[in-house]
Structure 1
Amino acid sequence: MKINNLGPSGINPYKNQMKQQQAAKANQAKSDQVEISSKAKELQERSQFAEARQEKIAKLKVSVENGTYQVDSKAVANKMIDFYFNK
């Protein structure tokens, strides 16, 4: 009659490996995807505001690079107040 078991009886060495694999699968980050339909892309390209917006952005980039861009602090403050007080 055995009182003390010697050796790894009752232990499945593959169980630890399976647990590690399951933990690794659970830790993998799931990523979100966004798909824009071809119709939406077409509408965006045809937008009449796209050209004007690109011109404005180009002008802003030039003025920032030259150091001539001035921020209207009063306008920024008014917009912040409007935003925080839901106006």
Structure 2
Amino acid sequence: MKINNMGSMGINPYKRNAEKNAQASLPSQGKEDKVEISSKAIDLQQTNEVVKARQEKVQAIKTQVENGTYTIDPKAIAKGLLQFYQK
């Protein structure tokens, strides 16, 4: 007895699926990835840098205080106070 594959025409569905996956994984030539950073994100990045710099300054002052090498400039403090209250 002979069995004919009617309608399949010798098409392997697994091979067809593999070809679709291969085509889908290829990057399309017309599309391009693009990243935009908002102004808020840029501000946050700059703020983080300011925070890091401030933490470094605080740590440096702490070590100077612990070592006894921290000195205060009274003229600079007085000048800063005057500028603050004159505004």
- TM band (smaller chain): 0.3 to 0.5
Normalising by the residue count of structure 2, what TM-score does the alignment of the two structures yield? 0.43
- Please give the TM-score of this superposition, normalised by the length of structure 1: 0.43
Larger radius of gyration: 2
